[in-house]
Structure 1
Amino acid sequence: MAEAQQQQQDEDLVLSFFPDPPPFFRHFTSENQERLKKIEQETATDEDDKSNSNHGSKLSAEHILALPTELRYLIPPEPPVDNEEFKVFGEAAKATGSDVFTKNMEFISHAIKEEGVLPEWTYEQLFPTTTSDPNISSTPATLDRQSYLFRFLRSILLSYISLLGIVATDPLSSAKDDQIANILTMVTNIHALINEYRPHQARETLIVKMEEQLERKRKEVEGVKRMRERVREVLHGFEEDIPGKKDEVMVGNALEREDDNNKMGQRDMWQTLDELLA
């Protein structure tokens, strides 16, 4: 008996691999929706609330708390504010999106501080975010990213050469940390500039994928056309192999030739009459 119960429990575990849905899904019925709609219309204070009752609940907090439990689940929560943080799989997020690059820079700064290397380093953006006109924001057309990338690369090379000179003369000099911080700042700025090419990369990747899909569809269409011609040839061969079909074809051709000869004779007769009457 115990073994049978254990086997049944094991089967239940296998069958319930996915979790059960939340129990309140049973409250989403047409009857409950009609009840909630009537309550909203009764508690509406003006015509605007009545007209907008279908677009969302206009009930106050007191009215919502006074509702039956099965009707409270039908009222969706208020959407979060743009700057309000909420958790998604344990990670903080915002409705406007999260700045992943800034978080990465904060993580790098925190990590090197824990290691005791460059405890005062923080990310500093060295390329402009706006043009000379403060009313015009920089766009891919106004910001020459390639020029700034070359500048940062040359500066990194010069800073590295300077760092080698400092280490060769005085390895314990504080100027060494300054040069390392400068190199790290320029490397992170290069990383930030390269990240701004990602929308262009995504667009070009999408274009390539669509072109590949279009070419594949064209090849499929050409294959269908070739198969159609082959089927026609096979059917034509079957038609020629039918007994008596050749005789019918020959008779048809003979009738066509006879008709053509009659037309030629009539044409010659009318031409002769024209010559005599002339």
Structure 2
Amino acid sequence: MADESQQRAVATAFAPPPPLWKHFTRENIDKLEQIKAEASKSEDGRLHKNKQWSAAELRALELPSELRYLVPPDIPKGPYSVFGELQTLSTTLPSLQEQGIEQLYPEPPAAGTEQDSEPSPPLNHAYYLLKISKSLLLNFLEFTGILSVSPEQFESKVEDLRNLFINAHHLLNLYRPHQARESLIMMMEEQLNHSREEMNQMDKVKAEVEAVLEQLQAEGSCMSATGSDDDTDQAKALKEKADEHSRLIWDLLDKEN
């Protein structure tokens, strides 16, 4: 009974974190960095700051028990368990035949294969997804009819519904590489458009600042050409005008930001 409850706890969707997270403190991290720095010293006492430590090298050091949890594990090479379910590192989508499930649509043509006859057309995913959706509706109506007449014969129809859902899900997963590629293209286009907008805004601010500076220079030349008797008042007015234009330039820059 205890083993069953433990298995249910491991296989839950949101399992609690392992207790080793308590060892990931700033104090322990600083201790590990100090040990790595001391171990990086060569025989002549020089420190190799850019040394890259592998997990095997860190495990070879004499670390205290509370610091051993900070050493990252090796990258798994085969299947590994996550919340009680086996996962693999392979990105290849297994076929339904490999999983022992009946495939309700033709096998998509392999890329790069050459045939003597004309090349086969690509698989029309949308067409078969629509057919599977219609089959799901029909099978669900049949399933409700079976439940109303003879509920004990529900297993075969449930299996048909399960097979249809799995085929539809597998067809959608075939779109994942295309979706990832299109998402990356969209992100790069957004970054490019954002960079162009920033450059246009910078050019606009540059033109406005140059216009203000030209206006300031022209007004200063006019004031110096008139030749006022009171040089102090003229300098004071020129300084106030320069301060006003400086505030105008900063207001333009703040507005663009």
What's the TM-score once normalised by structure 1's chain length? 0.46
